[in-house]
Amino acid sequence: MTRTGDTPRTPLQTLAAHGQRGWVDYLSRRFVRDGELTRHVERGLAGVTSNPTIFQGAIAEGDYYDDQLREVLATEDDPKEIFLAVARKDIRSACDVLRPVFDRGADGWVSLEVDPNLAHDTQATIDEVDRLHRMIDRPNLFVKIPGTQAGLPAIEESVANGIPVNVTLLFSLQRHRAAAEAYLRGLRRLRDSGGDLRSVASVASYFVSRVDTEADRRLEAIEGHDELRGTLAIANAKLAYQTFKEVFSGPDWEDLAAAGATPQRCLWASTSVKNPRFRDVRYVEELVGPQTVNTMTITTLQAFEDHGRIADTLERDVDEARRTFDRFATAGVDYDDVTAVLEREGVDKFATSFQQLFDEIAHKRDQLVRA
C-alpha cells in the first residue's frame, strides 16, 4: 500500500490516483451474495465486466442458481430466456452494489453482453441492446456490443437512443477509431434530438494479450525475431490511446463535452498473461494512464494487489511503439490480418461460449426436472 498523509491507499486506489480505474472481469451470484464484490469495491474496485464464459462457470459452480431456475422453469423452457432471467438478477445486484461508486461519478459500471451470434446483424443487435437495457433497468449498465463492421451502426443507434455501451472485441487501431467515431455520431444525434448527453457513456474494450499470442505464433512460424515477441500488444494499446486523445479533442468534441458528453475511454481487456515468460501483471503495469480502465480476471487482480508496480507508463515510448509496428511489417507479420483473425475468432469463441452456457442451463434444467 501507498500512503496519502496518514491514510493508506490500496493498489486500486493508487491506480485511480493515476487516472485509471480497475475493474474485475468476473461475476457470479456467490461473488455478490457472499460480499466479495463489496469487499473489492471497498478496496477501490470501480466496475464489473461479464461474458458468456463467466456466466457458464458461475452457473456450473454449485447450487446458487437452483432455486431461481426452478421458479423460471415453471413458465419458461428456452435456455436463452432462462439465462436472461438469471443474468438479470446477477447484473442488477452488481449494479446496486456499485451504484454508490456510480453516483459519486467514479465509474460504477457493470457490463452485460449482447448475444454474440448477432455480431454480424446490425438490426438484431440494436433490438437486443434495447431489450437488455430495458430488462436490467439500471443507469450504471453498459450493454456490450461487438465492434464488428455490423456493430458500428448499432453503437451509433444505441447511443443516439440514450443507451450506454461497452464496445467489445476491439483489436485493431482502425476499428477502434471507427467505434469512437460511431460513438460521436450517436452523441450528436442524441444532442440534436434534445436528449441528455450526461445519461450516456461508453468504453472501448481493446483486447491486449491475445494480440501478442497471435503475433508471437506467427513469429515462431517464420523463426527468428525473438526480440519482437511480446511487444506488439502493448505497442498496439499505446497507439490506441493516442487515437483516443486525438478523437476526443478539438472544437467539435469540446461542444459535445460542454453539453455533458464524456469521452469513450479505452478499456484494456484480455489483460491476463498467457506466456509464463512474462511478468504476470505486465498488461496492467505497462498501460497505466489517465481516463482509462483495466479490467482484470480475479487471478490478475489478486496478483496486481500483491505486487503490482504503478507508474504513468501509457505514454512512455510512443515513438518506439510506432517503430514496433514497422519491425513486425519488416519481419513479415501482417498486422491487419492478425487483427482480422482475432476479431473473427473472438466472435466465434464468444458464440461457442454462449452455446455452452445454454447447454449448461439445459443440463441444469433437466436435473431439476428429474429431482
Closest by Cα among 331, 319, 303 to 229: 331
C-alpha grid cell for residue 49?
465486466
Dist. CA 295–CA 131, nearest whole Å: 25
For 131, residues 6+ apart whose C-beta sits below 8 A from its C-beta are none
Which residue is catalytic, options 144, 245, 274, 349?
144
Bridge partner list, 2: 9
Is 144 assigned a catalytic role?
yes
Report the distance separating Cα 366 and Cα 280, nearest Å.
40
At position 299, the amino acid (one-letter code) is: T
Partners of 145 in beta bridges? 167
| Dihedral sign computed on CA atoms, order 220, 222, 224, 225 | negative
- Residue 196 region, left (φ>0) first, then alpha (ψ -120 to 50), else beta? beta
* Euclidean distance between CA atoms 187 and 190, whole angstroms: 5
C-alpha closest to that of 22 among 87, 82, 98? 98
| Three-state SS sequence of 81-149 | HHHHHHHHHHHHHHHHHHHHHHHCCCCCEEEEECCHHHCCCHHHHHHHHHHHHHHHCCCCEEEEEECCC
Q: How far apart are CA 292 and CA 310, in angstroms?
A: 14
- Is residue 173 a contact partner of residue 335, using CB atoms and an 8 Å limit? no
Do residues 116 and 52 touch, judged by C-beta distance below 8 A? Answer: yes
Which residues are annotated as catalytic?
Answer: 144
